[in-house]
Amino acid sequence: MKDKLQIVLLSVIAVALVAIAVAVYTGNLGGGSIVAEAPTNVKVPPVAPAAKMEPPAPLPVQQASTPVDNSPKTSLKFGKYEHNFGNVTTGSKNKYSFSFTNTGSEPLIINSATGSCGCTVPNYPKEPIPPGGSGNIDVEFSPTAGQENAQQKTVTVTANTIPEKTELTIKAFVKAAS
């Protein structure tokens, strides 16, 4: 019962506030209004109608700037994309050269060649390879203790090619050094 009474009272107050707001906004403060009239000896400044508000100007949309690579693209072809060293021992240095040819019409620029593990170290040409030219990615695989059994590592070559990355694979069966 008490909750219902509170709701009714709040409703009456809300209606009264809305009526007052409408009267003030329209300037209809006289004759039959629920608002008491001011004494005649007190001057009440007129209430200006609410100013029409313009919505704020939209903020400029900033697009994420993704760098666009407009450098000339070429293509390359490796003689082999995978090499198996067979049986090797821990601590040994195993080397292989992956030969490639620039089969495109633009100079080939190799930006990086990275091994998937510290035991796989590639070395690549730093100078551009002309169209029709060839080169090598030299890879050294040096397994350490704890890398016994079958191993497979990758070398990722990043260049101005489509696709940008080419993956080379080396495999070996590592035995503990005796």
Give, as one character, the DSSP assignment of residue 104: S
Residues 102 and 167 in one domain: yes
Two structure tokens written together for 2? 């008490």
- Please write the tens of the pLDDT for every residue from 14-73: 877 777 777 766 766 555 545 555 556 656 566 666 666 677 777 776 666 667 777 899
Residues 151 and 90 in one domain: yes
In a domain, 62, yes or no: no
Residues 103 and 46 in one domain: no
Lowest average pLDDT, out of 14-18, 20-24, 114-118, 131-135, goes to: 20-24
Average pLDDT over residues 87-113: 96
CATH of the domain at 154: 2.60.40.10
Task: Tally the domains of the chain.
Answer: 2
Look up the domain containing 155 and give its range. 76-175
Distance of CA 169 to the CA centre of its chain: 29
E-strand stretches of 37-164? 76-78, 82-89, 94-102, 110-115, 120-123, 134-141, 149-159
In a domain, 86, yes or no: yes
Strand partners of residue 161: 74
